[in-house]
């Protein structure tokens, strides 16, 4: 009696890939990321309110001119340049989690105090202090990420936090609509005070961070012997440690300084989205003004959907360099696409502008992933805070320069100006790619 023929092996059904919510939820098993996500989700709702109402509050409620409002925002950004490095420098010397909590809580209370601003001077002082505190807190957060995660998890953590940030800012913008709809001074002040307090409350989860995110303790005083005399060997060891500490300064690392400078140049792409594109639409295209909001929504949705997955593997130097180069080509293409929208019929201009924003957003996503990977991997881990602070200084300088550069190129010269911007972004991306390739080759040679 013959045995029955074996059944053909049935292909195993592949398990569906987890969605965005499931991937983020799985990441939250890490206590460090869980505390950072909780803090970010709360505090950035408050910041979303401020992004939506600040300029209107300054001009329509306090009565500042457009020029005065611009000065307030520019000075606040300028304070962030110094604060970027100071936050990292302090995080190498004291508890990064306590520093981040203190400065973010203080920054939130200062934002709440906006509700009591009544003139140019008070708005300038509050904005400067709030920007200073918030930037120090953000810089020391970067030191926490550098120390709190394994090298292959740092970029993932930054990507998750950026996704949460975008979602929270969108929610905050919705809350801001309450003040915008009512339109009274009282409505603005109540919403602003509530948003500032929410930012302060968002700092509380940072106290749950483990001590491992803090810098290791440094020797400060020479050891004395039992007789009370100073131990000469201890003095020599302390002097050697301090010399090594100074030698590891990011200001003595030309490669990292160049990376920071080139990343700052590419970071001006945020100024293109915030300043260049709205001005271009209203002045040089036939597209309706409402398309500015459509483009912002498009950007937010794409970042939320793709930032985490686009950041995979960018802790590898070659991968980080490669995605940055791709971002450079995409950003150059986006600039040229924006330029083509001028003079077209309204419906064609809308399509062209959306296509430009899609290319722009993917350039933003990839460039951020590459920058995070390189800023962590090329930093000296002993001075993680100072290195992240220097990188933040570059970003702050880029944010300051971007409105000037965008206005001096695209807005002033039109198509030719957009072409100039395209070359600037592509050149900076190529420079970053070269740094990454050489660093990777040097790493392989040392191995």
Position 6 in a domain: no
Tokens 């520019």: give the residue. 74
The verdict on residue 11 lying in a domain is no
Residue of 211, 195, 208, 214 whose CA lies nearest to 38: 208
Residue 258 covered by a domain: yes
Identify the pLDDT of residue 396.
Answer: 79
30 Rama class: left (phi>0) / alpha (psi -120 to 50) / beta: beta
Residues 194 and 257 in one domain: no
Q: Are residues 208 and 255 in the same domain?
A: no
Predicted confidence (pLDDT) at residue 245 exceeds the cutoff of 80? no
Q: What is the mean pLDDT of the chain?
A: 82
DSSP letter for each residue of 289-306: TTHHHHHHHHHHHHHHHH
Rounded CA-CA distance 352/356 in Å is 6
List phi, psi (to 5°) of 224.
-100, 150
Q: What is the pTM of this model?
A: 0.74
Same domain, 58 and 131: yes
What pLDDT, on a 0 to 100 scale, did the predictor assign at position 5? 45
Answer whether residue 13 is part of any domain: no
Instruction: Work out the number of other CB atoms within 10 angstroms of the CB of residue 220.
Output: 8
Same domain, 322 and 441: yes
Query: If you compute the radius of gyration of the chain from its CA atoms, what whole number of angstroms results?
Result: 24
Of 187, 213, 239, which closes a domain?
Answer: 213
Clarify whether residues 203 and 286 are in a common domain.
no
Asked if pLDDT for residue 330 goes beyond 90, the answer is: yes
The DSSP secondary structure of 129-168, one letter per residue, reads HHHHHHHHHHHHHHHHHHHHS-HHHHHHHHHHHHHHHHHH
Shared-domain flag, residues 165 and 291: no
- My answer on whether 400 and 344 are in the same domain is yes
Reported as a pLDDT band with limits 50, 70 and 90, residue 7 is very low
The 10s digit of each residue's pLDDT in 384-431 is 778 888 888 888 788 778 878 888 899 889 999 999 999 999 999 999
Residue 257 is given by DSSP the state H
pLDDT at 140: 84
Q: Are residues 207 and 255 in the same domain?
A: no
pLDDT of residue 4: 46
Residues 90, 184, single domain; the answer is yes
What SS3 string covers 16-43?
CCCCHHHHHHHHCCCHHHHHHHHHHHHH
SS3 224: strand
Q: What is the pLDDT of residues 75-117, one digit of tens each?
A: 887 787 778 778 877 877 888 888 888 888 998 999 899 888 8
Q: Residue 230, SS3?
A: strand
Percent of the chain beyond pLDDT 90? 25
CATH of the domain at 177: 1.20.1250.20
Does position 56 have pLDDT exceeding 80, yes or no? no
Q: Is the Cβ–Cβ distance between 40 and 172 less than 8 Å? A: no
Please state the separation of Cα 76 from the chain's center in Å: 17
- 187, 257: one domain: no
3-state secondary structure of 215: coil
Q: With CA atoms as reference, report the closest residue to 111 among 229, 215, 172, 194.
A: 194
Residue 401 confidence (pLDDT): 83
In a domain, 236, yes or no: no
Say yes or no: 414 and 266 in one domain.
Answer: yes
State the pLDDT at residue 220. 54
Query: Which residue from 400, 408, 359 is spatially nearest to 71, judged by alpha carbons?
Result: 400
What would the mean pLDDT of 232-258 be, rounded to a whole number? 70
2 domain-assigned? no
Residue 369 forms part of a structural domain: yes
CB contact at 8 A, 280 and 120: no
Residues 309 and 393 in one domain: yes
Q: pLDDT tens digits, residue range 145-199?
A: 888 888 778 888 888 888 888 888 888 877 777 777 787 888 888 988 998 898 8
> Does a structural domain hold residue 259?
yes
- The span from the CA of 410 to the CA of 414, in Å, is 5
pLDDT at residue 324 tops 90: yes
For residue 61, give both structure tokens: 């409620």
* Average pLDDT score over residue span 337-355: 94
Mean pLDDT of 128-134: 87
Tell me the residue range of the domain where 265 lies.
251-446
Q: With CA atoms as reference, report the closest residue to 429 among 253, 268, 252, 295.
A: 268
Query: Among residues of the chain, what percentage have pLDDT more than 70?
Result: 86
- CB atoms under 10 Å from CB of 411, counted, come to 17
Count of the separate structural domains present in the chain: 2
């Amino acid at each position: 009696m013959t045995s029955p023929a074996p059944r053909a092996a049935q292909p195993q059904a592949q398990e569906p890939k987890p969605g965005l919510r499931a991937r983020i939820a799985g990441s939250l098993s890490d206590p460090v990321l869980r505390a950072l996500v909780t803090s970010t989700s709360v505090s950035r709702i408050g910041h979303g309110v401020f992004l939506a109402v600040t300029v209107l509050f300054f001009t329509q409620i306090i009565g500042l001119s457009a020029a005065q409002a611009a000065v307030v925002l520019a000075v606040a950004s300028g304070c962030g340049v110094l604060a970027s490095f100071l936050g990292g420098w302090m995080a190498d010397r004291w508890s990064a989690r306590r520093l981040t909590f203190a400065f973010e809580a203080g920054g939130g209370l200062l934002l709440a105090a906006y509700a009591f601003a009544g003139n140019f001077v008070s708005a300038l002082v509050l904005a400067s202090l709030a920007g200073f505190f918030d930037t120090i807190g953000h810089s020391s957060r970067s030191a926490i990420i550098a120390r709190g995660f394994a090298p292959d998890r740092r970029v993932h953590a930054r990507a998750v936090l950026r996704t949460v940030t975008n979602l929270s800012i969108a929610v905050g913008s919705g809350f801001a609509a309450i003040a915008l709809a009512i339109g009274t001074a009282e409505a603005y002040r109540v919403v602003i005070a509530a948003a500032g307090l929410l930012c302060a409350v968002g700092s509380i989860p940072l106290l749950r961070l483990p001590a491992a995110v803090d810098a290791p303790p440094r020797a400060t005083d020479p050891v004395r012997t039992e007789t009370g005399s100073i131990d000469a060997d201890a003095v020599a060891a302390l002097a050697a440690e301090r010399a090594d500490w100074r030698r590891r300064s990011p200001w003595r690392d030309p490669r990292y300084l160049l990376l920071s400078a080139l990343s700052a140049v590419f970071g001006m792409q945020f100024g293109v989205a915030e300043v260049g594109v709205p001005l271009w639409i209203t002045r040089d295209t036939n597209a309706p003004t409402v398309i500015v909001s459509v483009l912002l929504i498009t950007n937010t949705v794409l970042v939320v959907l793709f930032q985490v997955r686009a950041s995979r593997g960018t802790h590898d130097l070659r991968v980080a360099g490669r995605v940055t180069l791709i971002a450079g080509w995409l950003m150059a293409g986006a600039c040229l696409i924006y330029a083509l929208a001028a003079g077209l019929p309204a419906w064609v201009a809308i399509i062209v502008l959306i296509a430009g924003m899609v290319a722009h957003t993917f350039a933003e996503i990839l460039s951020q992933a590459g920058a995070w990977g390189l800023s962590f991997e090329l930093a000296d881990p002993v001075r993680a805070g100072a290195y992240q602070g220097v990188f933040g200084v570059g970003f702050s300088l880029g944010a300051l320069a971007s409105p000037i550069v965008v206005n001096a190129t695209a807005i002033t010269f039109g198509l030719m100006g957009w072409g100039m911007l395209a070359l600037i972004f592509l050149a900076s991306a190529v420079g970053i790619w070269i740094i990454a390739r050489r660093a990777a080759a040097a790493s392989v040679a040392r191995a």
